[in-house]
Amino acid sequence: MKILFPTDLSENAKNALDFAKKYAMLHDASITMLFAYYAVYDFAAQAEEIIAAIEEDANLALREVINSNTDPVYIDYKIVQGTVATAINATVLSGDFDLVIMGTQGASGIRKALIGSNTATVIKESQVPVIAVPTGATFESVKSVTVAVELSEEDEKLLKKVTDLTENWDLPYKVLHISNKDDFNKELSFKGLQVHLRETFPDDEFEFVKVSSPEFDAGAEKYLKDQKDTMMVMLSKNKTFFEFLFNKSQSVKFAYHTHVPLLVVK
């Protein structure tokens, strides 16, 4: 497995790198740090000097990170000129990476940290799964994996990817369905999913949770109030989540706690 780790060399990025290294050790994975920059200058004559200074500083900082690494994880790096989101997605497409792990910032929850940010764009456009690590989150704090499902056929296809990415953690799974009304067909689908998962993954532990809520974000907030040590997993076919996440006119705050990591599987 090859992990791409975008970094701005901030304290939050250092925390997310620690998360990424521990994840990599469980999956025999390598990590490539990506530092992207966009040089702003007034005159063309300044370009060469400014670019050289930025890349020299970045090289020194990234080498220091590698030299100080004491974990049994191979780490290298790339420095790319361009916008962060564009650089990340271009590198994923050209470098055969399997996963992106990156930090988010801000004390007001994942949604505020993501909306309009590089992380939001990466999640929306990435061709591979993305783990967003909020400020203060640690690998050790994750005690369960919560997977939100819409109970569609696509869910079952993507759940295999979820287990591939998380099964080595040896953590229990919580399969979450948020519904705004009773639906007999959805109830049958939920029961069918329980049978399918337990038969397909007999060595894994599954708990199935239903939350009644008129809105997806309110249901997620309600659930996470009592699940502060989980990692939330969203599937790319989960239109409820993605429509909410990228709807700029949405005024309701998506109250993910900053210490809850988010895995988006595609």
Residue-level pLDDT at 258: 47
Residue-level pLDDT at 70: 93
Q: Mean pLDDT for the chain?
A: 82
Could you please state the CATH topology (level 3) that the domain comprising 2-133 is classified under.
Answer: Rossmann fold (3.40.50)
Q: In what order do the strands lie in the sheet with 206-212?
A: 75-81, 30-37, 2-6, 99-103, 130-133, 262-265, 230-235, 144-148, 173-179, 206-212
One fold for both 2-133 and 142-265? yes
pLDDT at 251 over 60: no
CATH class of 142-265: alpha beta
105-119 mean pLDDT? 51
| Contacts with 264 (C-beta within 8 Å, 6 or more apart), sequence order | 123, 126, 129, 130, 131, 132, 233, 234, 235, 236
Residue-level pLDDT at 71: 94
Query: Which sequence spans correspond to the domains of the chain?
Result: 2-133, 142-265
Q: The whole model's pTM is what?
A: 0.86
Q: Give the separation between CA 71 and CA 86, rounded to whole angstroms.
A: 30
Please, are residues 222 and 211 in contact by the beta-carbon 8 Å criterion? yes
